[in-house]
Amino acid sequence: MKAIRYSQYGSPDVLELVTLDDPVAGPNEVRVRLKAAGVSPIDAKLRSGALQPHFSLTFPKIPGRDGVGVIDQIGEGVAGFSIGDEVCVAADPTRSGTYAEAIVCASTRVVKKPPDLSTAQAAALLQPGVSAWISMCRTAMLSEGMSVLIHGGAGAVGGQMIQLARHLGLDVTTTCRAENIDYVLGLGAHRAVAYDRDDFGLLGHVDVVFDLIGGETHARSYQVLKAGGQLVYLTAMPFENQAEKYGVTVTRAMISDAPEALHAVAQLAVEGVLIPAVMSTLPLAAAADAHRQFEAGHVSRGRMVLNMEAGG
Ligand SMILES: NC(=O)c1ccc[n+]([C@@H]2O[C@H](COP(=O)([O-])OP(=O)(O)OC[C@H]3O[C@@H](n4cnc5c(N)ncnc54)[C@H](OP(=O)(O)O)[C@@H]3O)[C@@H](O)[C@H]2O)c1
């Protein structure tokens, strides 16, 4: 099979296209013949070495958290899947990833592909969807009618958060760059504030802020929270916790690929609630270019997706 891999931390230049033997499914594992892989921020952060304090990698490493394909081998002890099933894959960040023509992973890391999603949409579903779902359905304490501010609504996670928030009956404000205002309103946000033009600090108070950005955005979010409000964050950046000063709670969403989360996200996609956004599709061999685009800040309005069928 063709695959992208790296043997040391570094710039996107460490990514190389190689030909490897197909992996073999062991007990409780499936092999998925991959059609496409989503390019997530964590793929680039792992490759650069920025996440060394949090994840221990074994080299050589195939990157890629998200993928979609067809099961073509089933290990002993696997129930509920058949050869030929189309599935979405949530790859373990510390093991072989989805930038490859095939992957072997635990059967608990795959869910049936929602039939109405395209291949590219399905490759962009799970990592952002699970991040949105755990933040909103397992971390924040939400009830219908609450007001939320979602920072980064034009990103892959923020976009699915907007869709999920509307499904939960919330009043949704989001931040994005000025040129993406119409885009996030189209995803379902009730209103949007351009972070490169306007001051979200002038908003009225909201019940919950979801912070995907950190830094100055985190620091200024306290001002827009009601007393007793909640700030839920997903970034690993250090910050000054001002919860006591403002009388709010500050909680990190602990994102994991729990089967409960994978199945909830897949079901929401089946129901048409979550429709992942795809910014562009590239051939597998362009993985290094995709990481360069991410690091240059050129990724917006959803995921870049690597297409195995376009040829390595
Ligand atoms: N802790 C975890 O487990 C976990 C899980 C998932 C994601 N994350 C983190 O969450 C972040 C978002 O993930 P993602 O996949 O959605 O990334 P993404 O698709 O690359 O989107 C990032 C978005 O951030 C927006 N942005 C940049 N600066 C902003 C600002 N000052 N105010 C508001 N929006 C701003 C950009 O919006 P415009 O395009 O409008 O400029 C961009 O669309 C990443 O840092 C990721 O690593 C963490």
Nearest alpha carbon, ligand 1 atom 42:
155
Asked, for residue 261, whether it belongs to a domain, the answer is no
Query: What confidence tens digit (pLDDT) does each residue in 29-48 have?
Result: 999 999 999 999 999 999 99
Between the CA of 35 and the centroid of ligand 1 the distance, in Å, is 25
Q: Is the CB of 175 under 6 A from ligand 1?
A: yes
Q: How many CB atoms lie within 10 A of CB 206?
A: 22
Do 227 and 281 belong together in one domain?
A: no
The finding on whether 299 has its CB within 6 A of some atom of ligand 1 is yes
Among 213, 232, 251, the mutation site with the greatest number of ligand 1 atoms within 8 A of its Cβ is 213
Which atom, in ligand 1's list, is nearest to the CA of 157? 16
Residue 192, ligand 1, Cβ within 6 A = no
Determine, yes or no, domain membership for 263.
no
Give CA separation, 116 vs 86, 261, 269, 302, in Å.
Answer: 12, 20, 8, 18
Half-sphere exposure for 311 (CA within 13 Å, toward CB): 0
Q: Kindly report the average pLDDT of the chain as a whole number.
A: 97
32 bridge partner residues: 71, 103
Question: Given the CA of residue 236, which atom of ligand 1 is nearest to it?
Answer: 1
Residues 238 and 155 grouped into a single domain: yes
Alpha carbon nearest to ligand 1 atom 1, residue: 234
Q: The pTM is what?
A: 0.98
Residue 116 lies in a domain: yes
Q: What is the pLDDT of residue 238?
A: 85
38 Cβ closer than 6 Å to some ligand 1 atom: no
> Is 154's C-beta closer than 6 angstroms to any atom of ligand 1?
yes
The response to whether residue 156 sits with its C-beta less than 6 Å from ligand 1 reads yes
pLDDT tops 50 at residue 312: no
The answer to whether residues 52 and 6 belong to one domain is: yes
Residue 268: name the closest of 147, 150, 134, 172 by CA.
Answer: 134
Assess whether 96 and 159 both reside in one domain.
no
Is there an atom of ligand 1 within 6 Å of 304 CB? Answer: no
Whether residues 87 and 187 share a domain: the answer is: no
294, two tokens: 């991410």
Q: Which domain holds residue 243?
A: 128-252
Q: Residue 168 is part of a domain; what is its CATH number? A: 3.40.50.720
In the chain, how many domains are there?
2
User: Are 70 and 175 found together in one domain?
Assistant: no
Residues 8 and 69 placed together within one structural domain of the fold: yes
Do 94 and 10 have their domain in common? Answer: yes
Estimate the crossing angle of helix 259-270 against helix 126-133, to 10 degrees: 100
Same domain, 121 and 215: no
Residues 214 and 197 in one domain: yes
Q: State residue 37's pLDDT score.
A: 99
Q: Region 2-20: what's the mean pLDDT?
A: 98
Give residue 123's region: left, alpha or beta (phi > 0; psi -120 to 50).
alpha
